[in-house]
Amino acid sequence: MNPKPIRIEFASIYGHRTKQGLVEMRVGAEETQMDITKAKEVLGLLAGAIEAAISDGLLVRFLVEKIGLPEEAAARALLDFREMRQGSRETVYPQ
């Protein structure tokens, strides 16, 4: 299953009011601007989510292909793994 592609764009801008460089992010029709500190935080969150997604995919594939678990059991094991990795079974939205 491939997610529907969405357009994501980033640009550097200069804030005349703040007198600082800013980052503008567009996701689909939504647009936001952030200072450099927030942009670096977003970068870190995205990098962490990418690594976790790679790990999740490899773990489920390993459990199904090498251990022989049914996909439903591998999905349940993934929830346990996420809880160990991040302290929660849910998606984490750090503040």
* Model confidence pLDDT, tens digit, residues 30-87: 999 999 999 999 999 899 889 988 999 999 999 999 999 999 999 999 989 888 888 7
Which pLDDT tens digit goes with each residue over 11-28? 999 999 999 999 999 999
Number of domains in the chain: 2
Query: Are 22 and 63 in the same domain?
Result: no
> What tokens were used for 73?
């059991």
pLDDT at residue 83, as a whole number: 86
The answer to whether 36 and 21 are in contact (CB under 8 A) is: yes
Where residue 1 falls among pLDDT bands split at 50, 70, 90?
Answer: low
**Does a structural domain hold residue 94?**
no
Contacts 24+ apart (CB under 8 A), 66-72: none
Q: Are residues 16 and 48 in the same domain?
A: no
